[in-house]
Structure 1
C-alpha cells in the first residue's frame, strides 16, 4: 500500500479560498432589496474587510522576494503585474505599501483590525519616514501609535494635517526647538534654490523665471500692492487703454486679471527705483542709456536704442520720450555724425558721464572679438596718466576684466585697430 503525501494547505491560502468562496456565494444577490440598516452595516464591514485583505496581501508580498527570483522578474511588483494583469504602477504602489507596513508594525496592526485603510496607511507611513533624523528614539513608536489611533476618527485629508504636526502633539516641550531648526533648514534650502532666469521670447517680451525665499516674495508682494491698490493711478493708463481699444484707461486697468495687474505693477516698480540708492557696478550702476538721433526724435515712427547690462534693445521714439522722464534713465541725443552731445566733461579720472559716453560709442568690450556688454567693463587709459596721458574720450577704452588684466600684462603687446578695437599679441 502506497501512502501519497499531500502538503497541507497553508492557513493564509485557505483564508483566501474561503473569502473567494464566500464572495462567490453572494455574487448573484441583489443588494437593492436590503434594508438601509443592512446596507450600511454591509458597507462598513466590506471596507473593514478590504483593509484586512490589503494588509494581508502586503504581508505576503513583503515575505515573498523569492517569487521574483524563481520567475526571472526584477521584483515582486513585476511578478504581480505579470501574473495578475494589474498595471505596473499599481503593482509598484502595492510593493511600496508592503515595505512600509513591514517597517511600521502598528500601522499594519491597524489595518488588520480594519480601522486603518490603505490611503491612511500610506499617509501615516510617509509621515513617519519623514521624521527628522535626530528624533528621539522613544518618540517614534509614540508617533506611530498616535496616528493609528487618530485614523479611526479622521479622514485622509484631516489625517494628513495631523501627521505633519505629530511631534508637536506627542512632545509639546520640544516644539520651539524643532520649529527653529526647521526654519533654519528651510532658509538654507531657500538660499540654495534662489535663482532668476531671463528668456527672450523674440516677440517684444522676456519671460522671467524666479525662485526666491518666502520672505523676499512677501516683500515683493507688499511693494507691488502699492501699484495695484485701488487708490493707485497706473503710469501706463493710456497705453493700457490703447492696447484694449478703450478710451477710459482706468476702466481697462481694473478689468485686468490680477496676474496682469501684478505684471504691470512690477514694471512700474522697476521704473520707480532711485538709481542713486543702488550699488554701482561696472560703469553705469543701475542706469539705462536711451539713445536716439536728434532728427529721428522729431518723427513719430522713429526708433531708439536702449543700452543695458545685457546688450542692445530697440524701442519706439514715444517710449524713449516717456523713459526720458523716469529716474535712472539717461537720454542721450546724438548729433548728425552720431557724436554724443554734452554728456560730461573730462577730468583727472574718467567721470561717470565719460563712462556713459564710452558705452554709447561701443556697446561691448573693446578687445577684438569680445562681446562682453559694455556695462560690465572697466575704463582703461590707452596712455597712462602717470606717463602724461590725458583723460580724453579718444584715449579711453572699455575692457572686460580679463582684457584689462591682459593689457597691463608684460606678456602681451597690443595695437588699436582703425575701428577702435584692441588686438593683443603674446610676446615671444
Structure 2
C-alpha cells in the first residue's frame, strides 16, 4: 500500500504542475521567455524519458512482462500505453544498454542530453574495438557527452564514428576504425532495404521504402533538381502556378509529381527482358485519335483516354490490329524463347497468370510452352501461356499435370 502511495503522490504533483503550465499563453511571452520555456520543456522531456528508460530496464530484469502474460517487455509496455511494439522494444534495448553507462544515464536523468543522444553514445561504445580498456571506454563516453550538449543527435552520430580519437593519437588507426564502422553500417542498411507498394483502389498507389543513405540522397537530389524553381522545368511551372494563384507551393506534392516523371523516364534498355519493365496500354484507334473511352493496362487496371494519349506522345506505339505493319509472332522451332513482341501480344489476351484462380498480374509472369520445347513444341503465340513463377515451377513438377480450359486458363491436378 505504501509503495502505491509513493508512486501516486509524485505523479499527481507532476500532473498538477503540467496543469499549471497549460495555463501559460505562449502568445503573451516575449522572445526570451519563449526560448527559456522551450529549453525547460525539452529538459523536462529528457528527464521523464530517462525515468521511463530506468523503469523499463528494471521491468526487463524482473521479467515483469512474463508475469503479465506478454512475450517481451516491449510488448508489455506497448500494450499498456497503446504504442507501437517496435518503438517500445527499441526503448527497452536502449534502457538495458544504459546499464553500463552511468555517466550517460545521469546526464539523461538531469535533462542535459536527449534519449537520441544517449542512443548514439551507447552504440558508439559497442563499436569500439574489443581491445579498448574500461578506463578508455569511460574517456570516450565523457568526450561524447561533452559534445552531446552542443550537437544534434545526427551531428553527434557523425562525430561518434571517430570517437576513438579521444584515446588514439594515431590518425591512421582512427581512419581505419571509422571506415570499418561505415562498412558495417552500409551492410546493415542494405539488409534493411525494403520497398512496399499498395494499390489503394482509388486511382493511387501508396508505398513505403527504406534505402541506404547514398541511394536516398541520390533520389533526393534528383527530385530536388526537377522541382527547384531556378533549375527544373517542373519546379518552375509549379512555382509560377503557385505564385499566380497567390498560394505557397506544396513541395511534397511537387516531389511526388517529380517522382512520377522520373518513373516514366527510367531507362529500361539494359533490363532482360525489357518487356518485364514495360507497362502495356491497350486502346483502340478511335480512342488514340480522340474518342473518350478507358484504356486497359496489362496489370489489369485501367486509365483514362487522356492519360493514354499523353503516354502515347512519348511511348512506342505497336499496332495490334490487322492492316498494320505487324511483327512476326510465330517463330516455330527457330527460337526457344518467346520474343518481346509475342509477350506484348499475349498481354492483350491475359491480364493475370493463366493458372485457374491465380490473380498475379501478367507483368509478373513467365511465358511457358503449352507443349514443351523439349517435346518438339513450337515457339508460337498460340502455344504460349503466361504463368507466375510459382505456377511455372509447379507445371514443370512431374507430380502435377495440367489441362487447358476453354477460356485459355490452366487447371492443375496431382498425377494419379
TM band (smaller chain): 0.5 to 0.7
Write the distance in 2 (CA, Å) between the matches of 1:263 and 1:333: 33
- Aligned partner (choices 372, 378, 382) of residue 394 of structure 1: 382
Q: SS of the counterpart of 1:324?
A: helix
Write the distance in 2 (CA, Å) between the matches of 1:362 and 1:340: 22
Equivalent residues of 1:197, 1:208 under 8 A apart: yes
C-alpha change, 1:358 and 1:159, in structure 2 (3 Å) is closer
Task: Verify: 1:272 aligned to 2:265, yes or no.
Answer: yes
Q: Where does structure 2 lack aligned partners over 5 or more consecutive residues?
A: 1-46, 68-90
Write the distance in 1 (CA, Å) between the matches of 2:121 and 2:375: 74
Report the counterpart of residue 177 of structure 1 in structure 2. Answer: 176
State the structure with more CA Rg: 1
- Aligned partner (choices 165, 168, 191) of residue 168 of structure 1: 165
Equivalent residues of 1:412, 1:427 under 8 A apart: yes
Write the distance in 1 (CA, Å) between the matches of 2:330 and 2:243: 47
Equivalent residues of 2:193, 2:209 under 8 A apart: yes
Write the distance in 1 (CA, Å) between the matches of 2:242 and 2:110: 56
Report the counterpart of residue 25 of structure 1 in structure 2. Answer: none
- Offset at residue 422 of structure 1 (A): 1.9
Report the counterpart of residue 314 of structure 1 in structure 2. Answer: 302
Write the distance in 1 (CA, Å) between the matches of 2:235 and 2:329: 34
CA RMSD in angstroms comes to: 4.7
Report the counterpart of residue 290 of structure 1 in structure 2. Answer: 281
Query: How does 1:31-110 map onto structure 2 within 5 Å?
Result: 107=103
Task: Verify: 1:369 aligned to 2:357, yes or no.
Answer: yes
Report the counterpart of residue 304 of structure 1 in structure 2. Answer: 295
Write the distance in 1 (CA, Å) between the matches of 2:371 and 2:320: 29
Report the counterpart of residue 157 of structure 1 in structure 2. Answer: 150
Equivalent residues of 2:226, 2:235 under 8 A apart: no
Write the distance in 1 (CA, Å) between the matches of 2:357 and 2:202: 28
Equivalent residues of 1:194, 1:212 under 8 A apart: yes
Write the distance in 2 (CA, Å) between the matches of 1:116 and 1:397: 64
- Offset at residue 154 of structure 1 (A): 7.7
Task: Verify: 1:119 aligned to 2:111, yes or no.
Answer: yes
C-alpha change, 1:427 and 1:167, in structure 2 (3 Å) is closer
Write the distance in 1 (CA, Å) between the matches of 2:401 and 2:285: 40
- Aligned partner (choices 117, 135, 141) of residue 135 of structure 2: 141
Equivalent residues of 1:201, 1:207 under 8 A apart: yes
C-alpha change, 1:363 and 1:167, in structure 2 (3 Å) is same
Q: Any idea what the Cα deviations from partners look like across 1:167-194, whole Å, max 9, x if unmatched?
A: 3233242311220121011011101110
Equivalent residues of 1:227, 1:268 under 8 A apart: no
Normalization by structure 1: what TM-score? 0.59
C-alpha change, 1:195 and 1:415, in structure 2 (3 Å) is same
Report the counterpart of residue 417 of structure 1 in structure 2. Answer: 405
Task: Verify: 1:186 aligned to 2:180, yes or no.
Answer: no
Report the counterpart of residue 232 of structure 1 in structure 2. Answer: 232
Q: SS of the counterpart of 1:187?
A: helix
Write the distance in 1 (CA, Å) between the matches of 2:113 and 2:250: 42
Greater mean alpha carbon deviation, residues 394-403 or residues 205-214: 394-403
Greater mean alpha carbon deviation, residues 311-320 or residues 167-176: 167-176
Equivalent residues of 2:404, 2:410 under 8 A apart: yes
Q: Any idea what the Cα deviations from partners look like across 1:104-141, whole Å, max 9, x if unmatched?
A: 67x59xx8xxx998234888976664403654666542
C-alpha change, 1:140 and 1:223, in structure 2 (3 Å) is same
Equivalent residues of 1:382, 1:396 under 8 A apart: yes
C-alpha change, 1:128 and 1:367, in structure 2 (3 Å) is closer
Write the distance in 2 (CA, Å) between the matches of 1:341 and 1:367: 32
- Offset at residue 212 of structure 1 (A): 0.3
Equivalent residues of 2:356, 2:410 under 8 A apart: yes
Write the distance in 2 (CA, Å) between the matches of 1:324 and 1:236: 25
Q: SS of the counterpart of 2:356?
A: coil
Normalization by structure 2: what TM-score? 0.61
Q: SS of the counterpart of 1:198?
A: strand
Q: Any idea what the Cα deviations from partners look like across 1:221-280, whole Å, max 9, x if unmatched?
A: 23334422424323996xx79xxxx9x699689953333222111111111122213342
Equivalent residues of 1:382, 1:395 under 8 A apart: yes
Q: Where does structure 1 lack aligned partners over 5 or more consecutive residues?
A: 1-53, 75-92
C-alpha change, 1:407 and 1:204, in structure 2 (3 Å) is closer
